[in-house]
A and B are shown apart, each in its own frame.
Chain A
Amino acid sequence: DAGVIQSPRHEVTEMGQEVTLRCKPISGHNSLFWYRQTMMRGLELLIYFNNNVPIDDSGMPEDRFSAKMPNASFSTLKIQPSEPRDSAVYFCASSLGGKAGLYNEQFFGPGTRLTVL
Chain B
Amino acid sequence: AQTVTQSQPEMSVQEAETVTLSCTYDTSENNYYLFWYKQPPSRQMILVIRQEAYKQQNATENRFSVNFQKAAKSFSLKISDSQLGDTAMYFCAFMKHGANNLFFGTGTRLTVIP
Q: Give me the interface of A with B, judged by CB distance under 8 Å.
A: 31, 33, 42-45, 48, 50, 55-56, 89, 91, 93, 95, 97, 100-101, 103-106, 108, 110-111, 113
Query: Which of A42, A89, A95 is in CB contact (< 8 Å) with B100?
Result: A95
Contact B104 A97 (CB under 8 A): no
Instruction: Report yes or no: B98 in contact with A45, Cβ–Cβ below 8 A.
Output: no
18 pairs from A and B in contact (CB 8 Å cutoff)? A42-B104, A42-B105, A43-B91, A43-B104, A45-B102, A45-B103, A48-B101, A95-B100, A100-B98, A101-B98, A103-B50, A103-B52, A105-B47, A106-B102, A110-B43, A110-B44, A111-B43, A111-B44
Name, among B47, B97, B102, B105, the residue most crowded by chain A CB atoms within 10 Å (CB to CB): B102
User: Does B11 interact with chain A (Cβ within 8 Å)?
Assistant: no
Majority secondary structure of chain B interface residues (helix, strand, loop or mixed): loop
Interface residues, chain B, CB within 8 Å of chain A?
Answer: 33, 42-47, 50, 52, 91, 95, 97-98, 100-107
The answer for the CA separation of A33 and B103 in the assembled complex, in Å, is 12
Residues in A neighbouring B44, C-beta threshold 8 A: 108, 110-111
With both beta carbons as reference points, the residue of chain A lying nearest to B105 in the complex is identified as A42
